[in-house]
Structure 1
């Protein structure tokens, strides 16, 4: 049973949006520090891009709309977590970025870094704002901004603008839906629906990655030769 505890904890962290109603019921106000920690880690640590972001904001907003959380406190907590997370990520990239990139870490996938570099090449600094709405890119963008020595003054501006747009967009949409009578009456069903959509999105990403890997293998052959 003790051997299962790490896996239970990992499942709780990775799918906190699914467990959030129960967490609120059990911990009350302490739910806010938990939400802060998850969003901070997802945006602030380059090794935790798999944590829930968009779905967590939406579910939290829905719960606030249903009366389970205070919306004002929720928005302040999420904004603080998102802004501080990106800031920490920037300075990690700025100070030790190349050492992190040289480390072989299964959580930091080369394709995610390459995709983020493509965003920077195409959109420049505004990538920090755009990346807020793109899973994985959201985690790597501030890190690469630090590696590339982007002016911190400009980074902070993009960081704040992106955080405000991201948090308000998902949280307030969730808050609106959470306040509807039909949502309140079928809240458990809605939560499972949100989780299902999130899993489909993740499944789609994994499918595309596997398909791309399969295509590359067919092109290069088993020994990597044309």
Structure 2
């Protein structure tokens, strides 16, 4: 289904004209720190950011040097991702079991929280890192970490490590490929591929999870 919001956010020219990479930093914060951000395309947006930074006529802040700009924006967006997860952790720690007991709403669905909880139990502290690369899960994983009262120092360590790995890998990938002619001409195909790769684990879990539950019944 065509999503006009995601389609707009995937347009490098639109991003440049509407707040540039500061907008990207806010969106990354929202996706990892606010419940309303679970639908945002963080992976694809980070890749697009790398493409934007690589463009010779698009980004001249803070300097004219592309490498310096790359490092600057990676640091800034990484900080936004780190703060976002801390906000999610704080929210989960404060609300606790209420999230599991309340009825589903258009914003908060228990299946998302249970999905993140199960993922967290299997992977332990590493879930905070792995969740960065999984849509929806990355929004709820820090909340679940707060709900189960994960040690704050341990959470902080995995939070920082995961944010650095996630943001750096995707932005650098976009930056390296950003000036490639084929990439420019097939950007939509690449974005679709990123979406499929990052959502596949979640979709497979949902499909086979349901199948397993049906077999048991």
Q: TM-score range by the shorter chain?
A: 0.7 to 0.9
Select the structure of larger CA radius of gyration.
1
From 4, 7, 15, the equivalent of 1:11 is 4
Number of residue pairs aligned between Structure 1 and Structure 2: 204
Which consecutive aligned stretches of 4+ in structure 1 deviate over 6 angstroms post-superposition? 216-220
2:32 to 40, 43, 46: 43
Q: Distance in 2 between matches of 1:154 and 1:207?
A: 29
Cα distance in 1 for residues equivalent to 2:7 and 2:99: 27
Q: C-alpha displacement at 1:134, in angstroms?
A: 1.6
Q: Taking structure 1 as reference, are residues 161 and 210 closer, same or farther at Cα in structure 2, changes over 3 Å only?
A: closer
Is 1:162 the counterpart of 2:154? The answer is: no
Q: Where does the alignment leave 5 or more consecutive residues of structure 2 unmatched?
A: 60-68
Equivalent in the alignment of 1:97:
96
Structure 1 segment 1-226 matched on structure 2, within 5 A: 11-12=4-5, 14-24=6-16, 26-27=17-18, 30-67=19-56, 68-69=58-59, 70-101=69-100, 102-179=102-179, 183=180, 185-186=181-182, 188-198=184-194, 200=196, 209=206, 215=211
Give the drift of 1:200: 4.3
Q: Could you list the runs of 5+ residues in structure 1 that have no partner in the other structure? A: 1-9, 221-225
Aligned to 1:6: none
Question: What RMSD over aligned residues (CA atoms) do the two structures have, in Å?
Answer: 2.8
TM-score with structure 2 length normalisation? 0.79
User: What's the offset of the Cα at 1:91?
Assistant: 0.4
Question: How far apart, in 2, do the equivalents of 1:216 and 1:113 lie?
Answer: 19
